[in-house]
Structure 1
Amino acid sequence: MENPFMITFDFPLVDSDRKIPVKAIVKLHHSEPASFYKVHSFHVIAAKPVIAGMPPYSFLPDQEIRSLDEDDGILWVHNDSERPTLLSMAIGKAIEEHLAKQ
């Protein structure tokens, strides 16, 4: 597996059917008790820079997520809270899709 790698996913907006196409960079971190993924540099796909020649700023802070094995499949949670969100699940799905291609 390459490390780091880029993922793309649809970021769902809360209380809406709309989704924003996003790309981000993912790096696997090995640690105890469980390995996790640090995700950073979130950019809207096809977004133009605010200032010509400047790259767009990441619109989300860095995220740390990991997978938990559940009876009905894998659950992607934030490393600190161990709770899933729409964001952690969207990122996790994109990571799974990337790893399946390897």
Structure 2
Amino acid sequence: MTQSDNDARLGLALVERGTGQSLGMLPAGIYVRSASGFARLAGLRFDDMIVGVNGTAVASLKDFDSALQATQDDDVVALLVRRGKLTNFMPVLRRPPKT
């Protein structure tokens, strides 16, 4: 993953885990490897599972990227995040507000 991929993904370094990779310990899906910038400020952290973007279910990095392409630079993106047994929305700014 390049830095531009990370920037395009709200400051998130993401990994897609399949059922075989997770060895039954974690469900298949998109997981946070690291969070920086607005994603970190929103509270995202290592091993959070992203299951939705702005009301659209996501199960792959391709789904995630497609959902982000439907947003504008100044949007707040609502990520549906599963952490342990809890699932919550986390609002993340796409880019800093223009001054």
- The two structures have a TM-score, normalised by structure 1, of 0.27
- The two structures have a TM-score, normalised by structure 2, of 0.27
Q: Greater CA radius of gyration, 1 or 2?
A: 1
> Higher strand proportion, which one?
1
